Structure 1
Amino acid sequence: MREFTVPPVEAAPQVGGLADAVFDHAEKTPDRVTFGRKDASGRWRDVTSAQFRDEVLALAKGLIAHGVRFGDRVAIMARTRYEWTLFDFALWTLGAQPVPIYATSSADQVHWMLHDAEVTACVVEHEDHAMTIGSVIDRLPLLRRLWQLDAGEGAVAELMAAGAEIDEDVVHRHRRAVTPESVATIIYTSGTTGRPKGCVITHSNFMFEADMLVGRWEPVFHSQPGDEASTLLFLPLAHVFGRMVEVAAVLSGVKLGHQPALAASALLPDLASFRPTFVLAVPYVFEKVFHAARRKAESEGRAGPFDKAVEVAVRYAEAMEHKAFGLGPGPSAALRVQHQFFEKVVYGKVRDALGGRVRHAMSGGSGMDRRLGLFFEGAGVTVFEGYGLTESSAAATANPPERTKYGTVGQPIPGTTVHIAEDGEVWLHGGHIFSGYLNNPQATDAVLNDGWLATGDLGMLDEEGYLTITGRKKEILVTSGGKSVSPAALEERVRSHPLIAQCIVVGNDRPYIAALVTMDQEAVEHWLAMQGRAPLPPAELVRDPSLETEIRRAVVAANTLVSQAESIRTFRILAHPFSEEHGLLTPSLKLKRKAIEKAYAVEVEALYG
């Protein structure tokens, strides 16, 4: 199939801007709880629609007092926290344009984005961020204001006090000037292949995306019919995925909490205390939950039963999937009995790790292993995998609630068309497609054609319109023998091994395909402990014969996906993981291939020695 369209769901006509929802909710349901916010003692406190409206209004008045006006661009450099959402909606109330900056961005990256976007003011989280801005401020003549969230009383209190004398009508005059076509934000791409580009996203783009997602998937936001929908946002708000979660939650009245760290040690306790009804995450989170559960079972001497439970969950989910598509009768009686047996001892504990109430989740940002998705389905958490880009304001496709096809990224979201070009490139069309790159008409013309977005991704549509992403056009490797190889599937399969953190496949203009792999330190320490062995220094670990045998198993498993000419012939274990700090990962954890190959040029050469 070359093209597939899903009609739009019914939605209210677009008028005004994103911030109007804050004021509408406060008027209609002032006492409805719209946020959970952690206080200084670590307890979650409710924030109502009326309280949030009042805070947005007070902050907007303060921004006006400090000179922020309609159309101004204000950068936000912070982790995921309540104040970010507060600033977003205060700025949107004024018709200003937030420019999100990753909390881990380097001074050079920060300078480029603030300069390119002509930012006039900036909000930072703490002193380190302020110092990063300070190191480049002499080259940013337009930057006039810098506010720090964690300094003294904090930027929010400072601004609210500054705006106390501003008339509310001044704010509302700004708000009434905002139209759906107004620019909402400039979000910079991750820069995997060069300097980040600023995607111009309008209020209309976000409204369309939120309306279509909520209209189609709202029933699965609830743990059970009639309960209050809530989600804990732990994705970076500098990423379009996290930003869309924020927007859709506020516009639809879903209770929203914020969590600034993806590390399991910080995230899991907050999931347990906030108890969301659904979550939106990247595959990394689901992998961490699964591997942590298996390590715990192994430590307790229950690895065998756990692995059996995994197998039963996968077979059960696969049987349910076949039934949904008319390909089978569903789980057999014997399989249902086995599944019920593992419900309390394994599956319930996996759900408890997500807070206990989650029955549905959405995954995006990168590909999710089909078997992992089936396991979670069998364990009682349906994960709807989707696909999108910054340029498509987040999701362009997602698996529908009633017919999830694991291993695919689903069908187009309502109001969207997916087209597969002659060379296999995925093209998208819909109301969520961005209006272009800031200050870069040449790059805009390269990807936008009469409203169609050429994504740069390669994919296939099946007969029912489900999309499978097979790779990136720019990442296709061509061996010296002329064989074209897409590295994504190989890397994903290798990385599914519990001991492996990252994998990069190399082989461009080389005689064969090879790989560099890094280790999951926590998993390796557990693996050694289970063998009664002490932790090994990295230099010894990479030469450990037992570890090499484990990694070879992962490589052999990955090679079953491809022909012999496309298979990984050899590999090298690296002592340290690729990190953002060393410029080898983007802030959204994507591999910077050229940078990695340059940094590990000696190791790559050794693969072909």
Structure 2
Amino acid sequence: MSSIPALLRDRIAATPDAEAYRTPSEGGWTSLTWREVGERVRGLALGMAALGAGPGRRVSILCSTRLEWILTDLAVLATGAATTTIYPSNTAAESAFVINDSGSTLVVAENDEQVAKLRSVRAELPDVTKVIVIDGKASDDGWVVPLESVSDEGGGGYDAMVDAIGPGDLATLIYTSGTTGRPKGVELTHDNWLYAAGAVRELDIISPADLHFLWLPLSHSFGKLLEVVMIDIGVPTAIDGRLDRIADNLGELSPTFMAAAPRIFEKIHNTVVATVQREGGVKLRIFEWARRTGVRVSRARRLGAPVPLTTRAEYALADRLVFAKLRQRFGGRIRYFISGAAPLSKDVAEFFDAAGLTILEGYGLTESSAGSFLNRPESVRFGSVGLPLPGTQVRIAGDGEILIGGRGVMRGYHGLPEETAEALEDGWLHTGDIGELDSAGRLVITDRKKELIKTSGGKYVAPTYLEGRIKAACPYLSHVFVHGDRRNYVTALVTLDMDVVRPWAESESLPTDPEELRGHPRMREEVDKAIRQVNAEQASYATVKKFAILAQDFTVETGELTASLKIRRKAVEERHAETLDGFYASP
């Protein structure tokens, strides 16, 4: 196979009338077959080629996750051009940087709001000849044209364009948001994506009989990988990127699997736990008993140990009283979830597995086409990211850094030869993550190489591990930031998940204003209890000695989170320097 458009063409030939995509419509969902997808992609590709898209060109997509994102992406690729992805949450200045750095000459914008963003920096976009708007109107000056006017239904030459694309041709430029520094454009070829999709197919964990629910940002490499995987295997995908619709969509669609970032699983876990804690009494006792029982069964299953008859009977009751209701929230057909993009708390993973909702945690970087490791359903180890995908090589350097090799590794950073040489030293991708391989060859990640805390006493502390444990121990928390590099002890900033904490606060007659609530003794007691619980399992130098509850959550808009919801550590330290310094001020 030479390219993603060729892969799509083969999929259409193999299963033309099978469902490809399902998208929200008035009063329900509308389906498209692979044949219909092919027709729309062909028309768009010919129309974009007429506007100048073609080999050696780049087209930026500034849009949320929806069907049109995928259709325009596939059309861009069919012309021989490469897609540059931009998060819809990016500012006008950030969008302009990506467009200019990538050399994009066309931009696909979702709506008039995104067009206005581009217009505000139009003087900085001299090479952009057209903006194609999905939901919007043409502009009087001709710079903006609606998507429906771009399609060329009668033109020819589509197959010739597709046949001219080679596996080594650039397919995607994805700009890493990064926890520090300037974004870098990661160059991923058609072969990078074809390898990753083929490796997932080899695992034989997904089939055309599945229904995939996709809400992840397609601007992120994880979402992009899922797009290509579903074409390769022929899996129908229901698409809706609206975060506030995830729960409702799961109930309506009854998908068999879904991928998500850990924050989604944490929020579901925290909502469930906080709800039963608020109800208290018999319901809380039943829930805690069911959880303990489920965890016992989960651990025995993963160890291959027999489950006693009495425990099986107890689990059957726990399932009927608690777990079956939880599974029904997700439509009742989930075979497993896939988690990536950030570390998943072992406690949260074990809770879901106990409920019969196994989460397969995986690992990959944008620089490795998103997918490099994945836990297999038959050999899950929580706390690990599983075995390498077929064809991926792994080494652990002398300092513990994880090195990755294989066809999934990027071509390089766009226009940055020195950074490329550093990242691909000796032909291996240097991930910047620290980890180790267990006896079965599964990868366990301990932390980011550049994020390890070294206290003034010379002890190393892994902040993300502590952050995940504290969040799992207190359902009311949204984010935890552990601090202490070059300090004499470890401290933490925590933020509240107001969607979860507000009902509890109301039931306890506590203030619901975040500023008032964060200083209330009851709120501090809940956070302190969770931190003490986690501290009890740590060496003394790794225990959190002081903490502060912030009134506002970390957000992408304030710059404290990346677009993929990872904490920008430097930004948090700068924004909250006074609070952090106060932890260490002399009494």
Q: Same fold (TM over 0.5)?
A: yes
**Aligned position for 2:133:** 148
What SS does structure 2 have at the residue aligned with 1:433? coil
Which residue is equivalent to 1:326? none
* Mapping for residues 326-337 of structure 1, pairs under 5 Å: 329-337=305-313
Q: Superposed, which structure 2 residues align to 1:131-210 within 5 Å?
A: 131-152=116-137, 155-160=146-151, 163-167=152-156, 170-210=157-197
> Greater relative contact order (Cα 8 A, min sep 6): structure 1 or 2?
1
Give 1:230's match in structure 2, choosing from 188, 191, 211. 211
Aligned partner (choices 312, 315, 321) of residue 339 of structure 1? 315
Say yes or no: does 1:294 pair with 2:294: no
Which of 224, 228, 251 lines up with 1:272 in the alignment? 251
1:304-349: CA deviation from partner (whole Å, max 9, x where unpaired)? 21122111111110010111xxxxx332212111110022221112
CA contact (8 A) 1:433 1:451 kept: no
Question: 1:458 corresponds to which residue?
Answer: 434
1:116 is aligned to 2:101: yes
Residue 294 of structure 1, CA deviation: 3.3
Map of 1:59 onto structure 2: 44
Residue 465 of structure 1 deviates from its aligned partner by 0.8
Structure-2 separation of matches of 1:99 and 1:469: 30
> Contact 1:289–1:350 (CA<8 Å) still a contact in 2?
no
For residues 57-79 of structure 1, what are the alpha-carbon distances to aligned partners after superposition, in whole Å with 9 as ceiling and x for unaligned?
Answer: 01111112222122210000111
Q: Residues 463-515 of structure 1: CA distance to partner in whole angstroms, max 9, x if unpaired? A: 11111111111112222222222211111111222011111111122221111
Which of 182, 198, 202 is the aligned partner of 1:211?
Answer: 198
User: The residue matched to 2:303 in structure 1 has which SS?
Assistant: helix
CA distance in 2: counterparts of 1:290 and 1:391, whole angstroms: 31
Deviates more, 1:332-341 or 1:342-351: 342-351
1:256-304 Cα shifts (integer Å, max 9, x gaps): 11111223xx111111112211111111222222233334445655222
1:388-427 CA-partner distances (Å, limit 9, x unpaired): 1000101211112211111111111111121111101000
* 1:344-383 alignment, distance < 5 Å: 344-383=320-359
Counterpart position of 1:480: 456
For residues 522 and 608 of structure 1, the distance between their equivalents in structure 2, rounded to whole angstroms, comes to: 32
1:154-202 per-residue CA deviation (whole Å, 9 max, x = no partner) reads 8331211xx24422xx222211111111111001112211111000001
- Contact kept, 8 Å, 1:426 with 1:459, in 2: the verdict is yes
Distance 1:541 1:300, change over 3 A: closer
Within 2, Cα distance between the matches of 1:536 and 1:374? 31
1:315 aligned onto 2:296: yes
Q: Which amino acid aligns with 1:312?
A: T
Contact 2:2 2:191 in 1 (8 A): no
Q: Tell me whether 1:524 sits opposite 2:501 in the alignment.
A: yes
Provide the rounded CA distance (Å) in 2 between the counterparts of 1:53 and 1:74. Answer: 20
2:234 to 253, 262, 265: 253
> Partner of 1:426 in structure 2?
402
Structure 2: how far apart are the matches of 1:292 and 1:494? 15
Counterpart of 2:232, as a letter, is L
Q: More deviation in 299-308 or 23-32?
A: 299-308
**C-alpha separation in 1, matches of 2:35 and 2:242:** 28
Q: Which residue of 1 aligns with 2:23?
A: 37
* One-letter code aligned to 2:64: R
Counterpart in the other structure of 1:18: 4
| 1:42 Cα offset (Å) | 4.1
Computed over aligned residues only, the root mean square deviation of the Cα atoms, in angstroms, reads 1.6
The unaligned stretches of length 5 or more in structure 2 are 139-144
- Aligned pairs for 1:380-529 within 5 A: 380-496=356-472, 497-529=474-506
- Preserved CA contact (<8 Å) 2:404 2:431: yes
Q: For the residues of structure 2 that align with 1:471 and 1:206, how far apart are their CA atoms?
A: 27
Are the aligned partners of 1:502 and 1:518 in contact in 2 as well (CA < 8 Å)?
Answer: yes
Distance 2:363 2:155 in 1: 44
Q: Do 2:270 and 2:476's aligned partners in 1 also have CA atoms closer than 8 Å?
A: no
The separation in 1 between residues aligned to 2:278 and 2:240, in whole angstroms, is 29
CA–CA separation in structure 2 for the residues paired with 1:68 and 1:86: 15
Conserved in 1, the CA contact under 8 Å of 2:506 and 2:512? no
Number of matched pairs: 576
Which residue of 306, 309, 322 corresponds with 2:287? 306
Q: Residues of 2 paired with 1:406 and 1:255: CA distance?
A: 29
Residue aligning to 1:9: none
Check if 1:98 corresponds to 2:78. Answer: no
Point out where structure 1 has 5 or more consecutive residues left out of the alignment: 1-14, 324-328
Question: Sequence identity of aligned pairs in percent?
Answer: 35
Q: Secondary structure at the match of 2:377?
A: coil
Residue deviations 1:211-241, cap 9 Å, x none?
011210x33x36xxxx821101011001100
- For the 8 Å contact 1:490–1:561, the answer to whether it is kept is no
Aligned to 1:85: 70
- The alpha-carbon deviation at position 538 of structure 1 amounts to 2.2
TM-score (norm 1): 0.92
Distance 1:268 1:494 in 2: 25
Residue 561 of structure 1 deviates from its aligned partner by: 4.2
1:592 to 548, 568, 576: 568
* One-letter amino acid matched to 2:233: S
- Cα distance in structure 2, aligned partners of 1:465 and 1:262: 36
**2:262 maps to 1:283:** yes
Q: CA deviation at 1:384?
A: 0.9
Counterpart AA for 2:150: L
- Whichever residue aligns with residue 591 of structure 1, its letter is I
Aligned residues of 2:168 and 2:191 also touching (Cα < 8 A): yes
Q: Specify the code of the residue in structure 2 equivalent to 1:401.
A: P
The code of the aligned residue for 2:174 comes to I
Aligned AA for 1:182? Answer: D
C-alpha change, 1:228 and 1:331, in structure 2 (3 Å) is same
CA contact (8 A) 2:23 2:240 kept: no
Whether contact under 8 Å (2:347, 2:469) holds in the other structure is no
Match in the other structure for 2:31: 46
Question: In the alignment, which residue of structure 2 is the partner of 1:130?
Answer: 115
Matched residue SS, 2:412: coil
CA distance in 1, matches of 2:328, 2:375: 24
Per the alignment, in what secondary structure is the counterpart of residue 149 of structure 1?
Answer: strand
CA distance in 2, matches of 1:401, 1:129: 41
Q: CA deviation at 1:127?
A: 1.8
Tell me, what secondary structure is at the counterpart of 1:208?
A: helix
SS in 2 for 1:198: strand
